[in-house]
Amino acid sequence: MANEVLVNDTMQRNYRYIRGAPMGEGFDPAFAPELTPAMMLALGVFAGKYMTDCREEFPASWFANARLATGKADPALNYFGVAAGQRLAVWRAKGWLHPDDPRGWFQWYCRYWSGRRMEDDARQIGRWRAFVRHAAQVRRFCEPGDPFCRPRQRQALLQWAYDSRVM
């Protein structure tokens, strides 16, 4: 069942990892994302720029309905039509990136979903769990189902696999 993946894209060369868990299974009990990577890509996340050069690494089905930019990042491709989150340079400066996942949390999540397990999993799951505070703010300050209330916060939640469309 385990298979080795070789990554060669614009951010990593000759990076190798093992997919030891079944795809989409064997998650830590503390980690229960509401959206799969394929769902996130189809909804529109990261202004369509996140996965444009690393499609070979993941199942083609993830990209069948993905909203990807052909040029520069386009916030209109995001589900809520707004830019959300920090630039990668900010993530680097704050030390939020692991060397194995230079694109950040979503790259970690895609690889975790795909079956990779590593020492950084607990930290990333902890970061995911901490992000739920934004869902509490949306629920507190917005009428249920109002997508125009706090769209940046809702978009950021989508980018962390929380389904903010149903809040």
pTM of the complete model: 0.94
Burial 123-142 (b: 16+ CB within 10 A, else e): ebbeebeebeebbeebeeeb
Looking up tokens 């989409």, which residue turns up?
24
Determine the Cα–Cα distance for residues 68 and 48; give it in Å rounded to an integer. 4
pLDDT of residue 1 exceeding 70:
no
Least confident residue range of 22-26, 33-37, 53-57, 155-159: 53-57
pLDDT tens, residue by residue, 99-151: 999 999 999 999 999 999 999 999 999 999 999 999 999 999 999 888 889 99
Q: Which of 92, 111, 129, 4 is nearest to 54 (CA)?
A: 111
Domain boundaries, the chain: 3-166
